[in-house]
């Protein structure tokens, strides 16, 4: 089934301008595997001025997105003619659970994802009661949820069958989850190093000495078992050095 992604935002043009830059997305759209659309929050605004926000009760700086406006927008985006659609509504906020590759795999099993982007100083707390999950893409604060929604969308859609070619398979890549001996899903190792032509690359170092950068001999040996062993060892070495937290 097609994956439908809706991104509720005050900046639909911002989302729209990113979509063609995902060359891969365009291909997927043609194949009817993916439908990704911004939903303009302003169209659900109140009165003639299409108001979407208000001053915070109790005082304070900035404006807060209204829960009634967001509720209408979410209800409208969630409407579907398809029965038993597997759907998730996700609010983007730095206070959410941190997004990772394991979550990308989990979300890739849904038919419809609705992202709700906050902006300005925030949104009314009651919005939290009508979304399924809250997600953050990292411990830093962005201007709004638009980029996080696009980041998550790209990580998820590339895991859907048929979107990537066989060549760009998602097996063996960094962070793809593996099942451990207890049947638990955990993050895998970082990906092993890759090489291509030329076999020997001559470059000048910073000290202007000529250096030969060589492809590891084992990769030229034609011995598949040795290559596999080397890759596994390199992946482990690299993970231990760069991301020891993944080994816990
Ligand atoms: N909105 C602002 N910053 C964010 C972040 N880091 N993740 C998700 N949504 C956000």
Which is nearest to 69 in space by CA: 112, 110, 35, 120?
Answer: 120
Lowest mean pLDDT among 22-31, 51-60, 61-70: 22-31
Summarize pLDDT for 63-110 with one digit per residue, the tens: 999 999 999 999 999 998 888 899 999 999 999 999 999 999 999 999
Contacts with 18 (C-beta within 8 Å, 6 or more apart), sequence order: 150
Where do the H-state alpha helices sit in 129-204?
146-157
Distance (Å) from CA 229 to ligand 1 centroid: 40
Coil vs helix vs strand at 62:
coil
> Distance from the CA of 16 to the center of ligand 1, in angstroms?
19
| Per-residue pLDDT at 180 exceeds 60 | no
In terms of domains, do 149 and 187 share one? no
Q: How far is the CA of 86 from the centre of ligand 1 (A)?
A: 25
Q: Which atom of ligand 1 is nearest to the CA of 137?
A: 7
Task: Assign residue 204 the CATH number of its domain.
Answer: 1.10.1270.20
User: 91 and 207: one domain?
Assistant: no
Give yes or no: residues 99 and 12 share one domain.
Answer: yes
Q: 142 alpha carbon to ligand 1 midpoint, in Å? A: 5
Number of structural domains in the chain:
2
pLDDT at position 20:
78
Quote the pLDDT of residue 102. Answer: 95
* Band (210; pLDDT cuts 50, 70, 90): very high
Does residue 68 contact residue 47 with C-beta atoms inside 8 Å? no
For 99-148, the pLDDT digits (tens) are 999 999 999 999 999 999 987 679 999 999 999 999 999 999 999 999 99
R_g of the chain computed on alpha carbons: 23
Q: Tell me what pLDDT residue 205 has.
A: 85
Please check whether residue 9 is in contact with residue 69, taking contact to mean a CB–CB distance below 8 angstroms: no
- Supply the pLDDT for residue 105: 96
Q: Which domain holds residue 237?
A: 178-247
Mean pLDDT across 196-215: 93
Alpha-carbon span 241 to 231, nearest angstrom: 15
Q: Are residues 56 and 132 in the same domain?
A: yes
Q: Give the model's pLDDT for residue 184.
A: 57
- Quickly state the pLDDT bin for 26 (edges 50, 70, 90): low
DSSP state, 46? B
124 and 243 inside one domain:
no
Ligand 1 site-directed mutation target among 62, 131, 141, 151, most atoms within 8 Å of CB: 141
Distance separating the N- and C-terminal Cα atoms of the chain: 36
Instruction: Say yes or no: 102 and 197 in one domain.
Output: no
User: Which residues, other chains included, contact 23 with Cβ-Cβ below 8 Å and sequence gap of 6+?
Assistant: none
């Amino acid at each position: 089934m097609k994956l439908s992604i809706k991104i509720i935002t005050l900046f639909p043009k911002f989302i729209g301008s990113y979509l063609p830059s995902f060359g891969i997305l365009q291909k997927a759209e043609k194949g009817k595997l993916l439908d990704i659309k911004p939903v303009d929050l302003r169209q659900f605004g109140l009165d003639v001025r299409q108001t979407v926000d208000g001053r915070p009760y109790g005082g304070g700086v900035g404006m807060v997105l209204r829960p009634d406006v967001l509720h209408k927008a979410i209800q409208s985006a969630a409407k579907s003619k398809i029965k038993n659609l597997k759907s998730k509504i996700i609010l983007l906020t730095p206070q959410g659970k941190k997004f990772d590759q394991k979550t990308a795999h989990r979300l890739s099993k849904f038919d419809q994802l609705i992202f709700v982007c906050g902006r300005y100083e925030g949104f009314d707390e009651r919005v939290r009661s009508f979304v399924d999950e809250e997600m953050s893409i990292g411990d830093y604060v962005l201007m709004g949820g638009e980029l996080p929604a696009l980041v998550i969308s790209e990580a998820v859609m590339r895991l859907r069958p048929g979107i990537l070619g066989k060549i760009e398979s998602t097996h063996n890549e960094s962070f793809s989850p593996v099942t451990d001996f207890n049947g638990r899903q955990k993050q895998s190792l970082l990906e092993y190093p890759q090489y291509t032509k030329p076999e020997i690359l001559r470059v000048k170092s910073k000290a202007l000495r000529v250096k030969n950068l060589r492809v590891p001999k084992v990769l030229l040996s034609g011995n598949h078992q040795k290559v596999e062993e080397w890759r596994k060892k390199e992946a482990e070495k690299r993970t231990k050095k760069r991301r020891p937290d993944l080994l816990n």
